[in-house]
């Protein structure tokens, strides 16, 4: 029996064991938040999670991806992110920015109630902010509001029940983006989310779903909130119209192969997959491809002797077939993106499409200009993430064919991350996780390696452009700045972009209305089950 066959047999055995566990879970679930007749008519959508959530605090210190996935259905903020990562209204109907760009005045949407039926007012917005950023809270994102990593909020005022004002000590263009974050949201919660002593109990939010039942490391059950008033706009990302049309159970299945087997056996209705964990085509399911925000990169240490010359770095860039690599390693589902601005971003433009075209004749000229004499470059890679390993292997082969001697340096992922943070590499196959706004990505890449060894691009000119839009909220001006940064990055060639890594969700054909989006968080509102 082959290794793959043995793995799949074990997955089927685990799936059979899970079937026994599922047999005790009702297919139709009733909740106090709905009339009995309505609840009894709802089918249950089951989603396979790789791990259980350790907390129910939005943005909590111990939060993980499962926490984000669950709570995105339960809590909401004043604003939300669309699929193109632009900011849209959610609990606020509108907002205005003061002339000095230091005060955001939000007008709340009428008719919003918490899951216990009480109306939401501006006092609840202020209470939520004060609680989450207070000393007793487990909220991990306080540094986004104290000036450490984002805006510094100096006051929250409530002129009337439908108006709330956030005052900042200085202009900060990404204030709304950080409020809408899926990982670190600033949700509006009922004070009943805590007990009389101020200890967290569970989120009493405004979302379309209620956190009805939580069995740690087993499942989380969400049920529709009958009092939810959806927005009227077309659904997009976490914004627009949201309707809870079925109960949703997030079932913990740690093994990826077991998730696949559970879907094939009809025990779950969806799971998040990668290119190595997709089932064969079958009318019982379909695969939804999500255009991701994660970047797949080749990092080049610009302070290393061989790579300090831009001619050498450009030679490496022109030795690679970026469009071919993107297509071949992603079954045709990814395109070459030479820019740090994701292809799915509202800021992505024709300027960002300018990249490097393979040109071996020019490679030879550049190598001569750089004084390259056949020295060996070490390309650090790992096997924990197969897609990064494959990128490294193909890159090594193409560089060697172009006359740039390259060897793979295989490392444990932890060691590679440490080397990245300390700048200890020549070449590295690496990926940056999703950033919702291009400035956040450029901020991580641009800097002084003497102070922050993990930055990749030492450019005073680029740093000045980035600083110039720190307080600039005009999308057109921000886009122009990102275009200029991309042009400069092509000139300096501090790192290379392959593509934005796509994601895959395998979905049962029984589900209707499921769509993907760049942040790759499952959204089961507006989804029905046959």
Which three-class secondary structure string do you get for 185-208? CCECCCHHHECCCCCECCCCCCCC
Cα three-residue angle 384-386-389, rounded to 5 degrees = 95
| 295-500 has the same fold as 79-179 | no
Q: In what order do the strands lie in the sheet with 92-97?
A: 92-97, 103-108, 163-168, 153-160
Asked if residues 123 and 159 have their Cβ atoms less than 8 Å apart, the reply is no
Count CA atoms within 13 Å of residue 43 on its CB side.
12
pLDDT at residue 43 in the model: 87
pLDDT at residue 47 in the model: 98
CA 322, CA 334: separation in Å to the nearest integer?
A: 11
pLDDT at residue 128 in the model: 98
112 CB contacts (<8 Å, ≥6 apart)?
Answer: 91, 119, 120, 206, 229
Three-state DSSP state, 216: coil
CA 519, CA 431: separation in Å to the nearest integer?
A: 15
Nearest to 183 by CA among 17, 43, 50, 72: 72
295-500: CATH homologous superfamily? Dipeptide-binding Protein; Domain 3 (3.10.105.10)
pLDDT at residue 275 in the model: 86
pLDDT at residue 42 in the model: 62
| CA-to-CA dists, residue 229 to 36, 105, 109, angstroms | 20, 23, 10
* Matching residue, tokens 């650090």: 380
Each domain of the chain, given as residue ranges in start order, spans: 3-57+207-289+504-529, 79-179, 295-500
pTM for the model stands at 0.87
Does the domain at 79-179 match CATH 3.90.76.10? Answer given as: yes
- Burial bucket for residue 281 (CB in 10 Å: 0-12, 13-18, 19+): exposed
Does the domain at 3-57+207-289+504-529 match CATH 3.50.50.60? Answer given as: no
pLDDT at residue 194 in the model: 96
pLDDT at residue 401 in the model: 98
Task: Using 50 as the pLDDT threshold, list the residues of the chain that sit under it.
Answer: 1-17, 19-41
pLDDT at residue 11 in the model: 47
Asked if residues 498 and 326 have their Cβ atoms less than 8 Å apart, the reply is yes
pLDDT at residue 32 in the model: 40
């Amino acid at each position: 029996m082959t290794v793959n066959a043995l793995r799949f047999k074990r997955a089927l055995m685990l799936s059979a064991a899970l079937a026994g566990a599922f047999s005790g879970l009702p297919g139709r679930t009733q909740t106090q938040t709905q009339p009995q007749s309505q609840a009894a008519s709802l089918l249950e959508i089951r989603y396979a999670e790789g791990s259980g959530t350790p907390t129910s605090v939005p943005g909590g210190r111990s939060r993980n991806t499962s926490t984000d996935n669950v709570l995105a259905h339960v809590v909401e903020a004043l604003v939300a992110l669309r699929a193109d990562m632009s900011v849209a209204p959610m609990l606020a109907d509108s907002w205005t920015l003061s002339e000095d760009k230091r005060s955001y005045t939000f007008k709340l949407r009428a008719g919003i109630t918490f899951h216990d039926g009480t109306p939401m007012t501006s006092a609840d917005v202020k209470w939520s902010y004060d609680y989450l950023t207070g000393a007793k809270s487990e909220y991990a994102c306080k540094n986004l509001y104290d000036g450490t990593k984002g805006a510094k909020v100096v006051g929250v005022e409530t002129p009337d029940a439908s108006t709330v004002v956030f005052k900042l000590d200085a202009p900060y263009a990404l204030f709304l983006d950080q409020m809408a974050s899926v990982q670190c949201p600033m949700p509006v919660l009922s004070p009943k989310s805590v007990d009389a002593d101020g200890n967290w109990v569970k989120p009493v939010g405004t979302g379309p779903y209620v956190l009805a039942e939580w069995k740690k490391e087993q499942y989380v059950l969400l049920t529709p909130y009958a009092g939810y008033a959806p927005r009227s706009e077309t659904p997009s990302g976490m914004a627009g119209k949201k309707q809870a049309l079925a109960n949703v159970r997030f079932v913990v299945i740690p093994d990826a192969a077991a998730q696949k087997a559970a879907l094939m056996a009809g025990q779950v209705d969806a799971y998040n997959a990668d290119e190595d964990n997709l089932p064969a085509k079958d009318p019982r399911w379909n695969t939804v491809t999500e255009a991701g925000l994660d970047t797949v990169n080749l990092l080049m240490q610009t302070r290393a002797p061989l790579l300090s010359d831009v001619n050498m770095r450009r030679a490496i860039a022109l030795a690679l077939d970026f469009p071919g690599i993107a297509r071949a390693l992603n079954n045709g589902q990814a395109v070459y993106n030479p820019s740090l601005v994701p292809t799915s971003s509202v800021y992505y433009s024709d300027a960002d499409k300018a990249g490097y075209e393979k040109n071996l004749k020019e490679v030879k000229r550049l190598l001569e200009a750089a004084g390259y004499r056949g020295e060996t470059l070490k390309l650090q890679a790992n096997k924990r993430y197969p897609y990064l390993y494959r990128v490294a292997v193909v890159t090594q082969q193409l560089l060697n064919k172009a006359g740039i001697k390259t060897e793979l340096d295989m490392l444990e992922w932890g060691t590679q991350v440490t080397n990245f943070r300390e700048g200890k590499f020549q070449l590295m196959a690496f990926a940056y996780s999703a950033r919702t706004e291009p400035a956040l990505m450029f901020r991580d890449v641009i800097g002084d390696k003497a102070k922050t060894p993990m930055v990749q691009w030492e450019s005073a000119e680029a740093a000045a452009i980035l600083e110039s839009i720190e307080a600039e909220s005009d999308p057109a001006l921000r886009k122009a700045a990102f275009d200029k940064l991309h042009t400069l990055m092509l000139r300096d060639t501090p790192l290379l972009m392959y593509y934005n890594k796509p994601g895959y969700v395998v979905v049962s054909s029984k589900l209707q209305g499921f769509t993907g989006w760049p942040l790759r968080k499952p959204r089961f509102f507006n989804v029905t089950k046959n």
